[in-house]
Structure 1
Amino acid sequence: MNMSTALNNAIGGLTAASRGAAVVSGNIANALTPGYARRSLELTTNTISGHGVRTVGVVRHQDPVLTANRRSADADLSLQTVVSGFHTQLERLVGGPDDATSLAARLADFDGSLITAASLPESSERLDQVARTGRDLADKLNATSEGLRQMRSDADRTIGKQVDSLNQTLKDLEEINAKIPAVKYVGGDIGALLDQRQVLIDQVNQILPVNVVPRANDQVSIYSDGGLILLEGSAAEFSYTTTGDTKPHMTVDNGLLSGLTLNGNSVRTLGDNAQIRGGALAAQFHIRDALAVEVQSNLDTVAQDLIERFETPGLDPTALATDAGVFTDASNRFDPAAAAGLASRISLNQIVDPDAGGQSWRLRAGLGAAAPGDPGDASQLHAFSAILSAARPVANPVFGTGDMRASDLTEALMSKTGADAHTANQRLVFANSTQEEMTRIEAEQGVDTDQELQRLIQIEQTYAANARLISVVDELMETLLRL
């Protein structure tokens, strides 16, 4: 090897070492940057001189299988987080076994006040207490139904925000996809663009789980798990109209709530054939169109049972067949054709509510009585108490097909709510553990700062060796020139 070849080899080595140091330092600096993938320098023999080293480029290391598995775990965690939050909040609204303001506790207070009043029917204070505990029971159903309505409305508004976010992110992905081959064509580094694209895909995946398919020129196509084409050259566009303030009777089927469309075509959002499986968007549709509707039906069943019990023919001899009972549907008798949202409208009959201008003695004498009657007669109070304890058919089969007492129904609702919350929390814990494990496995394939520091030491040694070789060549040249 002559001095010229040695010098060229050393210069090539210095260049490669300098570029390698930049790559390694970039890895270390971005070890915690979202979407960043480890880089390495690709080197080859200098084909022109046949000696030395030449830098081919920078390789971006990413395992598509690990990334896909981690994204699946991310999407499932997003779904379970939303669903668990719904059930937890619902359990708080209904109340637990130890909650003095739970629905079951309110019913027990009302039943207890009837028994207490029957033991001393001439006591106006005890009759007033019956009215107040009855109003508290109705108010609890109203408050629970209103809290549920707000959660459904929140889901509707969140869907609108997520759809806007999806459309914007898909547009950004379209732009980056088009920019990558253009930058690569002029010899630019596309690594940062690939990192940015991965971050954007992860953002879409949180809302709507995706499958990424590589295309020519480092571009990608994106599909949903349900088969929707989200990005194939150009970005698809979702459409959705936010209602904002939902009511129990509103559904997609009756046209009062918006469905989801993609490029003008309807998207299936529920069921086994849903085209948006998993992710936060599917969870919000599940809450708005399935979970909240089911829970509202359960609450309405409890309200219907209460109203119908006190409308039982012959229960109150003073009342007409068209009169409302102790509990009403916004001051009216129960109408089977308008059962939706009944829990939000149930109220204590104002004619027995002293705080609303009524007379609590009607609970003793009968709702249709013209006068207080015998103050020592507790027969009507006993009848009202007995009807609460009577087993009767339940309108909603979700609680079973057998006859149930009023307390059985509220306890069944509370039990179902608690069980659903527990199951949802277990699924959330599992999803969180899975996501953490997949993130850890993917991170092991990413930047290891210890290994990068070792590579930096090796690069430093390589740089020093090549610099020493240049110094030796320089000394030899000076010696030859002095001869």
Structure 2
Amino acid sequence: MSITSALSSALSGLSATSRQAEVLSSNVANATTPGYARREVQLGAAVLAGTGQGVAVLGISRDVDQFLINERRLSQAGDGERSTTATFLGRVEDAIGLPEEPGSIPARIAALERALIEASGRPDVDARLAAVAASAQSLAAGLNTASQDIKSARATADRDIGTEVDRLNGALGQIHELNTELRSFSAAGYDVSALLDQRQKLIDGVAQIVPLREMPRGPNQVALYTLGGVALVDGTAVVLGFTPTNTITPDMTQASGALSGLTVNGRAVDTAGIGSPILGGKLAALFAIRDDLAVSAQGRLDAVARDLVERFSQSGLDPTLAPGAPGLFTDRGLPLVPTDEVGLAGRLRLNAAVDPAQGGALFRLRDGLGAVTAGPPGNGSLLVGLGQALSAARPLASPGFIAGSRSLAGLMADVLSDTATRRLGADSQASFTAARLSALSDLERQDGVDTDQEMQMLLVIEKNYAANAKVIQTVSDMINTLIGLGS
């Protein structure tokens, strides 16, 4: 080997080890940076005219396990879906409340039943009649509040859908732009590791909203498809469309056109069912809350409200009532229309005839809602009948429940049991997906930057650098010696 070749080889070694030290320092500095993938300098022999000329830096590689990343992304989507669902069902359960909780709907039903029993024993005591009115008012207010909570959750889901769709559109557009930049920079020979990290982070964000598959498309190019086979990014980025609704009422549905669906490049797509391209992610869970879970929860509350209204307005219970007149509970002061049950829990009101605050009189609880003047104060037969109507087992007129006769308390217990079962199931699924996501994330971090290993490699790089520097120093000494011989 000539002196020139030795010097060239040593200089290339210095350049390569310097690049290795630079990449290694970046690895250590970003050891805890989310989305950062460990870099490694790829080296190869430099050959000129068939002769070795030292070492060449072939490029910078990112150390990633794509299979593990794909599995983690699917777990992210599942975690987003199930935690969102579990949170909503927990909110519904809280709105109803447990029987032992003061202010819960079951507790308010029990309070009305006690008040009727106490008032029927002493119908001449106005305080006991007032307790009946207050308990009935409280029960109506409890159903109103629970209905409002579900309505609010449904409106929140609709707003969140709009937010997530905007996030998706923004992320997909940026991923497409990064694909374009990566194509250009890769062709120019630049290190594109930072751009690849940025793109991976964006794809991770998309995977939290919609489960997807990443497919390679040439050097440093990717395409994204939903599990349902709809392209999100492949050459170009799709545009998702959704229009939030300012105010949502219980009767509004996507099927009726009152609520917005989802479009992909202007084409409507299913938001539920096995044919939905968004199935399995947070976006699907939000649509399920708005269009299914909240509607179902509202329907169960409306069934309780209807049963309550019909119990106190049944024929023969109060002989002072005119045919078709509302009983103790009303639909905003009007009789119940069976075909207008949707949203009844939010419209339930105490009959103004027994509410002194609305110009009514307490004696009508004892003498009849249609009574003009007070009757004998010791007559408690109507109060006894009201109490029996509340606790009697009767068939349910509303659809969607298991056939059979129940008391109002029994019906409410069934509603609460069904809600709790759904919530417990959702919590169990959410816990499983969260544990799986945590395990996969831990595995991914284990494949990340190991600072101990990086420090060991730094020692090797230091020795290599010193060795190449020693070669240069030796060549320099040789040249100086040769110059000295010639002088």
Which bracket does the TM-score occupy, shorter chain normalised?
Answer: over 0.9
The one-letter amino acid paired with 1:89 is: R
> What's the CA shift for 1:422?
2.1
Q: State how far apart, in whole Å, the 2-side matches of 1:167 and 1:139 are.
A: 42
The one-letter amino acid paired with 1:454 is: Q
> What's the CA shift for 1:370?
2.3
Structural mapping, 1:392-431, within 5 Å: 392-396=394-398, 398-431=400-433
Contact between 1:39 and 1:59, CA under 8 Å: does it hold in 2? yes
The equivalent residue for 2:441 is 439
The one-letter amino acid paired with 2:476 is: D
The equivalent residue for 2:468 is 466
Structural mapping, 1:279-318, within 5 Å: 279-318=281-320
The one-letter amino acid paired with 1:37 is: A
Contact between 1:96 and 1:418, CA under 8 Å: does it hold in 2? no
The one-letter amino acid paired with 2:301 is: L
Structural mapping, 1:59-458, within 5 Å: 59-396=61-398, 398-458=400-460
Give the secondary structure class of the aligned counterpart of 1:89: helix
Q: State how far apart, in whole Å, the 2-side matches of 1:307 and 1:271 are.
A: 36
Contact between 2:79 and 2:430, CA under 8 Å: does it hold in 1? yes
Q: State how far apart, in whole Å, the 1-side matches of 2:58 and 2:256 are.
A: 62
Give the secondary structure class of the aligned counterpart of 1:347: strand
> What's the CA shift for 1:429?
1.4
Q: 1:176 to 1:119 in 2, by over 3 A?
A: same
Is 1:42 paired with 2:31? no
The one-letter amino acid paired with 2:215 is: V
Q: State how far apart, in whole Å, the 1-side matches of 2:440 and 2:390 are.
A: 54
Q: Which moved more, 1:406-415 or 1:147-156?
A: 406-415
Contact between 2:99 and 2:105, CA under 8 Å: does it hold in 1? no
Q: State how far apart, in whole Å, the 2-side matches of 1:60 and 1:139 are.
A: 61
Encode CA deviations 1:443-464: one digit per residue, 9 max, x unaligned.
Answer: 2222212111111111111111
Number of equivalenced pairs: 483
Q: TM-score, normalised by structure 2?
A: 0.97
Give the secondary structure class of the aligned counterpart of 1:261: strand
> What's the CA shift for 1:417?
2.1
> What's the CA shift for 1:280?
1.4
The equivalent residue for 1:58 is 60
Contact between 2:250 and 2:342, CA under 8 Å: does it hold in 1? yes
Give the secondary structure class of the aligned counterpart of 2:449: coil
Q: State how far apart, in whole Å, the 1-side matches of 2:6 and 2:158 are.
A: 71
> What's the CA shift for 1:35?
2.1
Give the secondary structure class of the aligned counterpart of 2:136: helix
Give the secondary structure class of the aligned counterpart of 2:349: strand
Encode CA deviations 1:179-207: one digit per residue, 9 max, x unaligned.
Answer: 11111122222111111111111111111
The one-letter amino acid paired with 1:13 is: G
Q: State how far apart, in whole Å, the 1-side matches of 2:463 and 2:367 are.
A: 102
Encode CA deviations 1:76-132: one digit per residue, 9 max, x unaligned.
Answer: 111122111111222221112321111000000001000000110001111011001
Contact between 2:45 and 2:56, CA under 8 Å: does it hold in 1? yes
The equivalent residue for 1:32 is 32
> What's the CA shift for 1:172?
1.1
> What's the CA shift for 1:219?
1.2
Contact between 1:399 and 1:409, CA under 8 Å: does it hold in 2? no
Q: Which moved more, 1:271-280 or 1:384-393?
A: 271-280
Q: State how far apart, in whole Å, the 2-side matches of 1:111 and 1:25 are.
A: 74
Gaps of 5+ in 2: none
Q: State how far apart, in whole Å, the 2-side matches of 1:33 and 1:39 are.
A: 13
The equivalent residue for 1:8 is 8
Contact between 2:312 and 2:386, CA under 8 Å: does it hold in 1? yes
Contact between 1:110 and 1:130, CA under 8 Å: does it hold in 2? yes
The one-letter amino acid paired with 1:459 is: I
The equivalent residue for 1:17 is 17
Give the secondary structure class of the aligned counterpart of 1:216: coil
The one-letter amino acid paired with 1:130 is: V
> What's the CA shift for 1:267?
1.1
Encode CA deviations 1:305-328: one digit per residue, 9 max, x unaligned.
Answer: 000111111111111121100011
Give the secondary structure class of the aligned counterpart of 2:224: strand
Gaps of 5+ in 1: none
Q: TM-score, normalised by structure 1?
A: 0.98
Q: State how far apart, in whole Å, the 1-side matches of 2:260 and 2:78 are.
A: 25
Contact between 1:154 and 1:244, CA under 8 Å: does it hold in 2? no
Encode CA deviations 1:247-289: one digit per residue, 9 max, x unaligned.
Answer: 0000011111111111111111112322211221111101000
The one-letter amino acid paired with 2:264 is: L
The one-letter amino acid paired with 2:283 is: L
The one-letter amino acid paired with 1:34 is: P
The one-letter amino acid paired with 2:361 is: Q
Give the secondary structure class of the aligned counterpart of 2:395: coil
